[in-house]
Amino acid sequence: MAPRSLKAGLLAGLVAYLAGSLPLAAAARPPAGFRAENALSTRAPSCDTIKCGWGQVCQPSVDGTKARCVDVPPEGLCGTIACPPGTECCNPFLGICIKPGSACPRAVSEDLETRQTAQKCGHVLCETGTVCCNASCGICVKPGGVCTQQICREKGKCGSVTCEAGTVCCNPSCGICVKPGGFCTQQICADKQAQ
């Protein structure tokens, strides 16, 4: 729980902001000298458990046994953490800092990198360089590309059939699947005729 003086300071800042006499950035700023880790009842052992205050990030100790909150360093972040003094970032995906000249653990695979940055589009992930244009059908196109706006059934179901990979349902009444954007007839089929 935060100290009483911190609560009073933040409340006063909020009141001043609401009254229009203080900009939001100043109203949200904690009092001078406040350190987020001092507000915790016990010091957090790692960046997995520590919560830092406004404008601060977690910085693990060089040996990784302790962590503290620091202002965002001018050299930037290593993933979501600040590297400890005397170290450098070697893997921003995992937030790994090492001593200069040390071996860096194996980099995150390109597949993992793609999955982390890929855009979800319905039941698929769009490839790099494409955007989702129809989430209902899971259709991704290059930015500015042509896109159909048909409504697709969930996970390849098309009437009484399941569409194969790379195709979408265009006529559930007849169980017709086509490649995205392909030609599709819109006749109504009786249950006996559905394929």
Of residues 7 and 39, the one with the higher pLDDT is 7
pLDDT at 7: 55
pLDDT at 54: 75
Q: What is the C-alpha separation between 85 and 81, in angstroms, rounded? A: 12
pLDDT at 147: 79
pLDDT at 64: 72
Domain boundary among 45, 78, 105: 105
Count of domains forming the chain:
4
pLDDT at 12: 57
**How large is the average pLDDT for residues 44-48?**
59
Considering the domain architecture, whether residues 126 and 141 belong to the same structural domain is answered as: yes
At position 150, the amino acid (one-letter code) is Q
Question: In sequence order, what E strands does 66-180 have?
Answer: 67-71, 88-91, 96-98, 120-121, 124-125, 131-134, 139-141, 157-158, 161-162, 168-171, 176-178
Considering the domain architecture, whether residues 138 and 165 belong to the same structural domain is answered as: no
pLDDT above 70: residue 89: yes
Q: Which domain holds residue 179?
A: 156-195
Considering the domain architecture, whether residues 98 and 130 belong to the same structural domain is answered as: no
* DSSP H or E stretch at residue 5: helix 4-18
Considering the domain architecture, whether residues 99 and 43 belong to the same structural domain is answered as: yes
CB 44 within 8 A of CB 37: yes
pLDDT above 70: residue 37: no
pLDDT at 108: 47
Domain boundary among 80, 105, 130: 105
**How large is the average pLDDT for residues 126-143?**
82
Q: Give 58's strand partners.
A: 69, 81
Considering the domain architecture, whether residues 44 and 27 belong to the same structural domain is answered as: no
**How large is the average pLDDT for residues 76-84?**
83
Considering the domain architecture, whether residues 194 and 172 belong to the same structural domain is answered as: yes
pLDDT at 185: 80
Considering the domain architecture, whether residues 136 and 113 belong to the same structural domain is answered as: yes
Q: What is the C-alpha separation between 83 and 148, in angstroms, rounded? A: 47
Of residues 29 and 172, the one with the higher pLDDT is 172
**How large is the average pLDDT for residues 5-12?**
54
pLDDT at 172: 83
pLDDT above 70: residue 142: yes
Of 188, 170, 187, residue with least CA distance to 179: 170
Q: Give 81's strand partners.
A: 58, 78
Considering the domain architecture, whether residues 56 and 30 belong to the same structural domain is answered as: no
pLDDT above 70: residue 68: yes
Considering the domain architecture, whether residues 160 and 135 belong to the same structural domain is answered as: no
Position 76 confidence tier, pLDDT thresholds 50, 70, 90: confident
Question: pLDDT tens-digit profile of 153-191?
Answer: 555 678 888 888 778 788 888 888 888 778 888 788 876
Considering the domain architecture, whether residues 27 and 74 belong to the same structural domain is answered as: no
Considering the domain architecture, whether residues 25 and 59 belong to the same structural domain is answered as: no
